[in-house]
Amino acid sequence: MNSIIKSKFSNLQDSRLALIERLKNIPAEKLEAHPAEGKWSVAQIFYHLNRAESFSTIYVSKKRLDVNNLKKTGFMEALKLLTLKILFKMPIALKAPVKVLGDVPEKVDYKLITEEWNATRVRLKALIESLPEDMLYKNVFKQPAIGRINIFQMLDFMQAHFNRHKSQVEKIVN
């Protein structure tokens, strides 16, 4: 695996595992409860993150079959991703792409979604380990807000997306 990809994935995985560890002594009932009307529970946030990563893995798996028709990413993709990462750091409400990810269920089992997210990460790791070097800079991933980006950028997006939702989780459990 490319060393930069390996580092980005390790950081993403370490972040997730640290959050799960942080939550281990909190009762599942609290993690599954809505903090306020219309607000997601911790379990729902995990569901959303898992769904985004799972769909991303599926999408890239399909795109790798058509690698000859993919273009290399450039400055514009990097600029769009930077803009999105800045937006993620702002205290503004951003809507999840329901057309892509579907609705988040009203009730999500924390233990079950954590196990599903573990399995998604195993699939994501296997996928990125299997990508040939010449595919790493091609626009194999489509992020709903900014369009097509490469694998490095996809992992950067996933980290920024995780970080945004981690701050939501921290507000709920504190």
- DSSP annotation of 96 reads -
Report how far residue 130's alpha carbon sits from residue 80's, in angstroms, rounded to the nearest whole number: 27
Q: Among 16-20, 69-73, 110-114, which stretch is predicted with the lowest mean pLDDT?
A: 69-73
Q: Coil, helix or strand for 128?
A: helix
Per-residue pLDDT, 170:
96
Per-residue pLDDT band for 161 (boundaries 50, 70, 90) equals very high
| Tokens 């800045």 sit on residue | 86
Beta strands, E only, the chain: 141-143, 147-149
* Fold designation for 3-20+38-173: Four Helix Bundle (Hemerythrin (Met), subunit A) (1.20.120)
pLDDT-derived band at 99 (thresholds 50, 70, 90) equals low
Mean pLDDT of 80-96: 84
- Asked if pLDDT for residue 62 goes beyond 80, the answer is yes
Mean pLDDT of 119-134: 95
List pLDDT tens digits, range 25-53. 999 999 999 999 989 999 999 999 999 99
pTM of model > 0.95? no
Band of the pLDDT at 98, cuts 50, 70, 90? low
Residue ranges covered by each domain of the chain: 3-20+38-173
Question: Closest Cα partner for 28 from 103, 98, 102, 113?
Answer: 113
pLDDT at 100 over 70: no
Q: Are strands 141-143 and 147-149 parallel, antiparallel or unpaired?
A: antiparallel
